[in-house]
Structure 1
Amino acid sequence: MIPLSLAQIAAVTGGAVCGDPTLVVTGPAYLDSRSPHSEGLFVAIAGERVDGHSFAGHAHAVLGSRPTCRPTVVVPDPVVALGRLARHVVAAVAPTVLAVTGSHGKTTTKDYLAALLPGAVATKGNQNNELGVPLTALQLKAENDFLVLEMGARGVGHLSYLCDIARPRVGAVLGVGSAHVGEFGSLELTAAAKGELPAALPGDGVAVLNADDPRVAAMPTPARVLTFGERGDVTWRDVCLDRLARPSFSLGYAGRWETVRLRQSGAHQVINACAAAAVALAVGEQLPAIAQRLSTVESPSSMRMAVSQRDDGLIVIDDTYNANPESMHAALKALVSIGSGRAGRTVAVLGEMRELGTASAPAHAEVGTFARVLGVDIVLAVGAAAHPAGGVGVSDIHSALTWLADHLRPHDTVLVKASRAAGLDVVARALNRSGAWAH
């Protein structure tokens, strides 16, 4: 973070200093007291089960709602104050802010975009909410030219709030899908929420919109529009998948084509890379450099189509970071593509897709049907909510591990996928321990 004294932080956030007002914060803001940052600012939040104020003992300085044992800026609401502080820092550094939103593909696209802009401050993982966005912005230093933000929304108004903290000059909307439809209530409300990003752009900004999604393509914006997709200004052709379903393709813009060879598995990565390329083009990057950098990206976000092979030949696809019907389809296609050239069977270990509301049961059933149409050999549905997917149903993770130990064979290809809260990353890690299973 740029250097700020507690007195300055209090002035920006409307707080009062309890302690030395001249104490200067130069490190990042953070929430986890177990990993304090030297010279940083611990943001103490009183949650339902844990009160951060009780864990401030190792902090250099604190932003909280009451005094602590360390120098503290006391504010009525630390979350609101965090946003105000981030807005101040963004205004002071004045980077070009680039934002990515959509129902799926946000994190991978953000990772690609960060790789296309060396030196950019970017969201880590999917820290894309009212805490993650300001925490990312507060990592800015005076020398940073770009701030790359993944922005998520759980309802109408959320993206407007995030855009007020860090006003984007370029904003990309990847798609409107069924992820979180249980929270939004309908696809129409989802589209309205995602549309807050292009609506917030300045007239001299650029809205990067998915030409293949009618709801996205129709989003109003005062900014110039640059589209991506099969029918977009930035597009692709000649997609070819290798034995691990990693795509090679030609990336095209304004009549020029450049070859890209991605290191991530799944044909769906092509549109994510294309979206990132469009944002980079919008800020003046050149197509040859974009293609070259995309071909070198190793995604830093774990549990996203992470493919590994055990000593016995079994391949594990760990995609347990998150799940919705659209990403399930993409992952299942990658499973079949990888498994098609191998001697073993394709096995889909599928857990619950969260936040689908009343659409949950039919959505899981449809995913199961899609798996069978693709020719997936075995579907293992973990947890009652996932059982409508059909196949073999087990009650919990322990039962899934037992079933897999009894039934997996060398050279099988296994996809493990669910929403993060389902905890199937435990299954993926167990599978990746070579020799862990009897065959």
Structure 2
Amino acid sequence: MIALTLDRIAEITQARTRGSAQPTDSVTGPVVIDSRQAGPGSLFVALGGERVDGHDFADAAVAAGATAVLGSRPVAAPQLLVDGGDAEVVAALGRLARAVVEELPGADVVGVTGSSGKTTTKDLLAQVLGRLGPTIAPAGSFNNEIGHPLTVLRADESTRFVVLEVAARGIGHIAHLCSIAPPRVGVVLNVGSAHMGEFGSRSAIAQAKGELVEALPGAEQGGVAVLNADDDAVIGMAPRTGARVVSFGLAEHADVRARDVELDGSGRAGFTLELGGRSAAVRLALVGTHQVHNALAVAAVAAESGMDVEEIAAALGEAGPVSRWRMEVTDRSDGVTVVNDAYNANPESMGAALRTLQVLAQRRRSFAVLGHMAELGDTHDAEHERIGRLAAETGVDVLIAVGEQAAPIADGARGAAAWRGETLRVADAEQAAAALRERLRPKDVVMVKGSRVAGLEQVAEQLTSEEAAK
């Protein structure tokens, strides 16, 4: 973070200094919400929680070197106090982030949204743009009203790019995040079925995702909207922005295009990247054909930032997975391949995972360990049954549906004419791991996928940790 005095922070956040806080003392270190991460010159933001209250750790944060505590309940430590509870502390955090962004005229803010692929694309962008200069990006899916400003506040005068993942749980959420850190470049990957239960329709999801392109500056101010040409709901957002539109996809009319897409035996995509009348061969280090669209979005942003096609192709080929449990591939010594894609799931990403498993398996036995997809509302049963049928069509040998809410996946597979495999229903991750131990043979392939609440990463971690312990 750029250095700011406490009186300046108080002015920005609409807080008042109290206790031993000295107005001329400066915050020069990170802004944190975990007292264990506090260090010299940091600002500790105290928030209440379901199990612990951050205010109770104010003294520990200051003892670790924090200059002051931003909170809503008086504490003995040097403090910036706001009224109104956690909601006002979060609002104050957002105001501070906005002020810092305005002090960084040399930094480009890039926002990324979509129903799936946001985190992977953000990670790719950070690696590729990092070749051009210091780049800030959130860890994992730190994409809400708290994680967003905390990421922004890591930027300083040297920062060249701030890459932000923006998520929505309702109409207006993305607009709010964009008001904290106004993007110059906005990337919309896709509009799928994730959160259908909350939004009610794909058009409502598109309305929310499109708030990103509405927040961009006009073309004359350098605004750029990077839109998926293969998704009608995304490319249909073009009239909603005054920014210049750059399209990406497999379509021939896309500005940034991939042709001759193929997967190697490890499931990694290769393609010819075409942009600006030039082309270059790309071989991704990431697993799955769905990574091609993510890579094309990154290529579009990189080209807008001054990289040529050969540089982009090389950077994409060297960029690897960063965030955990997203197509995380582990090859055991017995030849068993474990693919941990358990961070989250929706119908589109579940389908992509099964198609990737099909490629990885080839002449090997395949196991799909699938949990439920959350927040699908009235479409829950139909979408889960459809995934079961897809598992049958892609030739899964053993399907393990984990948890009662995933039961329709097993029903869909059993009812499919193409189904020739074994179907199991188990209660939890522990039972799924036990079923795998009984059945796995050398060189089998296991795909683990489900919504975050299903906790299926435990299955993959057990399989890999048991191997490591041998």
**After the TM superposition, which residues 34-73 of structure 1 pair with which residues of structure 2 at under 5 Å, given as runs?**
34-59=36-61, 60=66, 61-73=68-80
1:329 is matched with: 351
Q: In 2, are the aligned partners of 1:430 and 1:436 still within 8 Å (CA)?
A: no
- 1:84 aligns with 95
* 1:206 has 2:239 as partner: no
Could you tell me which of 414, 417, 425 is aligned with 1:393? 425
* Partner of residue 141, structure 2: 126
**What is the CA–CA distance in structure 2 between the aligned matches of 1:30 and 1:295, rounded to whole Å?**
34
Contact kept in structure 1, 2:185 and 2:216, CA below 8 Å? yes
The Cα offsets for residues 329-360 of structure 1, whole Å up to 9 and x where unpaired, read as 11111111011043xx1000011211222222
Q: Of 168, 171, 192, which aligns to 2:207?
A: 192
Counterpart secondary structure, 2:247: strand
Q: 2:108 aligns with which of 96, 99, 109?
A: 96
User: In the alignment, what sits opposite 1:257?
Assistant: 279
State whether structure 2 residue 10 is matched by structure 1 residue 10. Answer: yes
Partner of residue 411, structure 1: 443
Structural mapping, 1:163-242, within 5 Å? 163-204=178-219, 205-219=223-237, 220-231=240-251, 232-242=254-264
In 1, Cα distance between the equivalents of 2:97 and 2:172?
A: 18
Query: Within 2, Cα distance between the matches of 1:177 and 1:148?
Result: 22
SS of 1:114's equivalent?
helix
Q: Deviations over 1:397-426 (max 9, x none)?
A: 221122112222221100011112211111
Partner of 1:32: 34
Task: State the secondary structure of the residue aligned to 1:202.
Answer: coil
**Aligned residue for 2:270?**
248
Percentage identity across paired residues of the two chains: 51
Q: Where does 1:351-390 land on structure 2 (aligned, <5 Å)?
A: 351-390=371-410
Secondary structure at the counterpart of residue 286 of structure 2: coil
Q: Is the 8 A contact 1:112 1:273 kept in 2?
A: yes
Partner residue, 1:115: 127
Cα distance in 2, alignment partners of residues 126 and 293 from structure 1:
22
Which residue of 260, 272, 276 maps to 2:294?
272
1:104 deviates by 0.5
Cα distance in 1 between the residues matched to 2:436 and 2:360: 19
> Which residue of structure 1 aligns with residue 165 of structure 2?
150
Q: CA RMSD in A?
A: 1.5
SS at match of 1:209: strand
Q: Is the 8 A contact 2:217 2:242 kept in 1?
A: yes
Correspondence 1:431 to 2:463:
yes
C-alpha change, 1:24 and 1:109, in structure 2 (3 Å) is same
**Worse-matched range after superposition: 168-177 or 20-29:** 20-29
Cα distance in 2 between the residues matched to 1:12 and 1:429: 45
5+ residue gaps, structure 2? 411-422
Q: Deviations 1:146-200 (Å, cap 9, x if unpaired)?
A: 1111111111000110111111111010010001111222111100000101111
Q: Deviating runs (4+, > 6 A) in structure 1? A: none
Whole-Å Cα distance in 1 between the matches of residues 76 and 309 of structure 2? 53
Structure 2 Cα separation of the partners of residues 409 and 217 of structure 1: 46
Unaligned segments of structure 1, at least 5 residues: none
Q: What is the DSSP-based 3-state SS (H/G/I as helix, E as strand, rest coil) of the residue aligned with 1:264?
A: strand
CA distance in 2, matches of 1:436, 1:301: 21
For these two proteins, the number of residue pairs brought into alignment is 436
Letter in structure 2 aligned against 1:400: A
| C-alpha displacement of 1:238 | 1.4
Q: What SS does the aligned partner of 2:110 have?
A: strand
Q: Secondary structure of the residue that 1:414 maps to in structure 2?
A: strand
1:159 equivalent in alignment to 2:174: yes
Provide the rounded CA distance (Å) in 1 between the counterparts of 2:38 and 2:375: 32
Give the Cα separation in 1 of the matches to 2:344 and 2:58. Answer: 32
Residues 66-118 of structure 1: CA deviation (Å, up to 9, x unaligned)? 22232111113110000000000000112111111010111111111111111
> CA contact under 8 A between 1:310 and 1:434: conserved in structure 2?
no
Do the aligned residues in 2 keep the contact of 1:170 with 1:282 (CA within 8 Å)? no
Separation of aligned partners in 1, 2:78 and 2:382:
53
Q: Structure 1's 37 and 152: CA in aligned 2 closer, same or farther, altered over 3 A?
A: farther
Q: Any conservation in 2 of the 1:120–1:147 contact (CA below 8 Å)? A: yes
TM-superposed CA distance for 1:57, in Å, is 2.3
Tell me which residue corresponds to 1:339. 361
Q: Which amino acid aligns with 1:274?
A: L
Partner amino acid for 1:68?
V
Determine if the alignment matches structure 1 residue 105 to structure 2 residue 117: yes
Alpha-carbon distance in 2 for matches of 1:74, 1:237: 56
TM-score (norm 1): 0.96
Contact 2:371 2:454 survives alignment (8 Å): yes
8 Å contact 2:321–2:328 — kept in the other structure? no
Could you tell me how far apart the structure 1 residues matched to 2:178 and 2:270 are? 34
Matches of 2:390 and 2:305 in 1, distance apart? 39
- Displacement of 1:39: 2.0
* Bigger mean CA deviation after superposition, 62-71 or 427-436: 427-436
Whole-angstrom distance in 1 between the partners of 2:45 and 2:189: 32
Give 1:48 deviation, angstroms: 3.3
Q: CA deviation at 1:143?
A: 1.1
Q: TM-score, normalised by structure 2?
A: 0.90
> Within 1, Cα distance between the matches of 2:228 and 2:427?
39
Structure 1 residue 223: Cα displacement: 0.6
Tell me the distance in 1 between the aligned counterparts of 2:49 and 2:465.
36
Distance 1:437-1:380 versus aligned 2 partners, 3 A rule: farther
- Mapped partners of 2:234, 2:136: distance in 1: 27
Shift of 1:387: 1.1
